[in-house]
Amino acid sequence: MTQEPTEGESSLKEIGVGIAITGSGSATPANVLDNQALCQMVETSDEWIESRTGIQARRVASVEESLTDLATQAASKAVAMSGLQPTDLDLIVLATSTADDLFGSASKIQANLGATRAVAFDLTAACSGFLFAFVTAAQFIRTGVYKNVLVIGADVLSRWVDWGDRRTCILFGDGAGAVVMQANTTRDRLLGFELCSDGTQNDCLTLAFQPQEKALTPKVSVGQGSYQFIQMNGKEVYRFAVKRVPEVIEKALYRADIPVDRVDWLLLHQANQRILDAVAVRLKIPTHKVLGNLANYGNTSAASIPIALDEAVREGKIKPGDVIAAAGFGAGLTWGSAIFEWG
């Protein structure tokens, strides 16, 4: 019996270049801030936090630790697993909302790695950032422009959390994760994807700049200031996620021509355990197929998917050829899904 080619395999015949995901890595700060410690800072309890979010602890970067440091550590591990040298990399895409420098941090990571041949740039799509960067990188490979691409998701949201606001300070943590994607002429392992944005809901989750007027001349003023703390309408974000995330995964599966029962692992952005559970139920994916590390790290934004992926790979859960349905969602509002095979 001959199996019909998937959409990814059909595309490979047309363009001649597919994608393999050959390495992963992750890094988190040493500082652990657990729920008991948070209870000393704001009026809350360990039971209240865990029952509503699934989070028990999170990692927070010290003043000496930078996003660039964490991202470099994760990237080094991913490159090593892939069997490449940093000088083999053609492109580095950094997904982050918390760069060390507003002009971007990808080039500094490139220098730290010694990836002297690689083009490097930042991409911002908040908690969806890693998947958006993953799909962006894939297009460079499929068109034959680059062969070896490093995709990093990293955020240090502790810089922008109001640690007196129990609605948000319980949620976020810091970290970095990375994968290496390579050109593959025998099989395309990125089977399908779908990306979405809805700016009409932008005010549901923001980290906004607040300008203050500064007069330059009697007739000319500019706005200078700083970014405000993270603001979130938790109820609206929850409603958005439980509705849109299953939809976007179903669309990506349709594009990949893969039924949901062929999915080996569901890999969601680690935002809230209730969201993870609701999406799995909607898709009829059993709990043992849902990857998660939310309890230990909290919401690490663009880093959450690659950190969870790397841990599952290194623990031996994910095997070469396993089909992974990944989905990210967050500020923008943005959301997306990618269906891919590991290895």
pLDDT for position 17: 87
Q: Which of 268, 9, 44, 326 is nearest to 171 (CA)?
A: 44
Residue numbers annotated as active site: 127, 269, 299
What DSSP assignment string belongs to 15-79? HS-EEEEEEEEEE--S-EEEHHHHHTTSS--HHHHHHHH---EEE---TT--HHHHHHHHHHHHH
Name residues whose C-beta falls within 8 Å of residue 6's C-beta, 6 or more positions apart in sequence: 191, 256, 257, 258
Three-class DSSP category at 321: coil
Cα–Cα distance for residue pair 102/254, rounded to 1 Å: 38
pLDDT for position 251: 98
Between the CA of residue 304 and those of 6, 96, 261, what are the distances in Å? 28, 11, 24
Give the tokens for residue 14. Answer: 């047309």
Give the tokens for residue 314. Answer: 């290194």
In this prediction, the residues of the chain whose per-residue pLDDT falls under 70 are: 1-16
Q: Model-level pTM? A: 0.93
